[in-house]
Amino acid sequence: MAATITGDKDTGFTITGANTIVVRMTLFTPNMGDRTCAYSVEFDPAEGGNMGSTLTRDVPEKSVTMVVSSVLLTPKTYPLSTFSYRRVSYMVDDASGQRAVETTVKATNTSGTNQQWHHEFARVVGDATGITFIVKKVSGNISIDSVDISV
């Protein structure tokens, strides 16, 4: 089965039939106001199984692994030294019947606009049919530029 993607930067994306996605984003575009961006990625927890997740800031390159295979209702916050002047946190919730991974990035200074980041979600054990992912902007001046997919 071929994976499909629908949607756009404004409404978000629905990806069907994928085992791995890479969400490519631009954060902190000029005139962003409060300098906080948030986005979510949702998937069926039963289908997702053991899911790996890595968030990367492209320049300077720095990555962290996020545990998304279980619920995490208290935000996990990384130290400011992880991503210079960026407070990154995430939560994992199953309240809607979907596993929702919401990630927030807050700038603690006024430099560094138009930053390129990407967030990968990969099923540890995929299959030929893949699963459905929903990617959407939650708040802030963030552009979800594209989603790379693989089965």
In the chain, the amino acid numbered 121 is: F
Mean pLDDT score across all residues of the chain: 90
- Count of alpha carbons within 13 angstroms of residue 40, beta-carbon side: 16
Q: How confident is the model at residue 6 (pLDDT cuts 50, 70, 90)?
A: very high
Asked if residue 7 has pLDDT above 70, the reply is yes
- Count of alpha carbons within 13 angstroms of residue 128, beta-carbon side: 1
User: Which pLDDT tens digit goes with each residue over 24-39?
Assistant: 999 876 665 668 899 9
Structural domains for the chain: 18-150 (2.60.120.1290)
User: Which pLDDT tens digit goes with each residue over 49-72?
Assistant: 889 999 999 988 999 999 999 999
| Mean pLDDT score, 16-25 | 95
